Amino acid sequence: MPNIDNDVAGNMTHPWLDLDGDKLREECGVFGAINAADASAATALGLHALQHRGQEAVGITSFDGKEFFSRRGLGHVAENFSSAEAIAELPGTMAAGHVRYSTTGGSGLRNVQPLYAELASGGFAVAHNGNISNAQMLRKDLVGKGSIFQSTSDTEVIIHLVATSRYPTIADRLVDALRLVEGAYALIVMTPEGMIACRDPLGIRPLVMGKMGDAVVFASETVAFDVVGAEFIREVEPGELLQVSTDGEVKSVHPFGKSPARPCIFEHVYFSRPDSFFAGHSVYEARKAIGAELAKESPCEADLIVPVPDSGVPAAIGYAQASGLPFELGIIRSHYVGRTFIQPSDSARHAGVKRKHNANRSLVEGKRIVLIDDSIVRGTTSLKIVEMMREAGAKEVHFRVASPPTAHSCFYGVDTPERNKLLAARMQIGPMREYIKADSLAFISIDGLYRAVGAKGRDKACPQFCDACFTGDYPTSLTDLRLKEQGGDELPFDDTKAA
């Protein structure tokens, strides 16, 4: 029997990210290693590099050739996997791990991945980054046929589809299951025969492949390879299924055919770490190019360019270089406002921005400043930052945004607020400027964003990226959303954000 009892609650703390929910939460991060002497240790290090993609919970599952072992906990990687004892509980040369925010399924240990099940063919563990947009429909059908679910995560649907498939091999059964799935996924699967990594046919969610000596490793971002000392080989292609056996054989198949890729463009804007590479480009250089393009499209007479830290820094550097205006750290971020044992009161919630950011008064007083941020979601944080600049004596406060207006919800693994809470869904640019109390407000255009990341512009007939949060052009069917809008039954794990 697998040892899957090592669930820990960490410190039972909750991530303090943005007290107003005014940032898009990254989806999740996955890492896997096979044929590695210290597979679990490498996985823990890789997940540490991916911590920005999910701070709610973490899990690692390993396989020693005979038995699967799992350890899961709430909180950060360091809180759960920093000790030698924790790693010793996960022996073997194959391991996979996951850091998460809950996009479907809610919080709680039962939803912490990798999810594990005993199938007729043996153990099966899966780590999933993304969101299945027809999971409710599939789950309802499976439950009607007798399936018993142990979690409220959409990922468990994949396990039940694999378990009920009639195909002979586990790879064929996985393909059979994924043919029924809509939405976005980057998967790392562990079986007694080896590891399988695959991406959805449009490549919406990222997944990369590397080598670490004789080991093959997979991760959501290349930065995880830097940390573990692995060599980046290539991206897992959209729709590709890579099988790595325990004897080192690597097999690649494209069972879904090939479609034009639509990777998430917000990886360039915000999600990926700046020191990663995504879609063939340095994320840092792409963000600088976004800032430079923004300066060309929306110049401003000002004295200083000030980033909203930390995510606005690369774009602000690009804006400053393109405009010839000086770049200054007019806002200082506290790196010690991270976690709290209790949910904050309303009064503490209102003070949240000042606890996280503080104006550098000596720089901004009497100056015309341009604030650069990666996005505006609800607008509440933008309003408070503008007010903070004015309180510090700024003469003028102009706001420039390194992405187009976020006017639509995401259904592909990003925790987006309901559409009626997105500022750009409720207001045009003028009213938005008045709401955040800026002297001027401008966003990069969708074509400008595409130019900054290496395209000539957005191909309306066949966009090169998934940009649905900006355009409302969803690249896949949204079956669960359609059923919900039609008044269909909601299942217990449904927290789909209404568009």
> CB within 8 A of 146, min separation 6: which ones?
none
* DSSP secondary structure string for all residues of 407-425: -S---SS-BPPPGGG-HHH
What is the rounded CA–CA span in Å between residue 448 and residue 467? 13
Active-site annotation holds for 28 = yes
Q: What is the helix (H) or strand (E) element at residue 14, kind and residue range? A: strand 14-15
Q: Which residue has the tokens 């004892």?
A: 85
* Contact indicator for 315, 307 with CB cutoff of 8 Å: yes
- Which tokens is 497 given? 């954000």
Q: How far apart are CA 484 and CA 303, in angstroms?
A: 50
227 and 243 Cβ atoms separated by less than 8 Å: no
Terminal CA-CA length for the chain: 44
Catalytic residue among 28, 264, 466, 469: 28
Q: Which of 108, 22, 125 lies closest to 70 in space, CA to CA? A: 125
Q: b/e for 207-222, b at 16 or more Cβ within 10 A? A: bbbbebeebbbbbbbb
| DSSP 8-state code for residue 104 | S
Nearest partner of 96 among 129, 125, 130, judged by Cα: 125
CB 221 within 8 A of CB 168: no
Determine how β-strand 277-278 pairs with β-strand 281-282: antiparallel
DSSP-derived secondary structure letter, 220: S
Paired tokens of 313: 């820094």
Half-sphere exposure of 107 (CA within 13 A, CB side): 15
Residue 169, φ and ψ in degrees, nearest 5: -100, 155
Alpha carbon dihedral 298, 302, 303, 307, in 10-degree steps, equals: -40
Q: Give the integer Cα–Cα distance in Å for 416 and 271.
A: 13
Question: What residues act catalytically?
Answer: 28
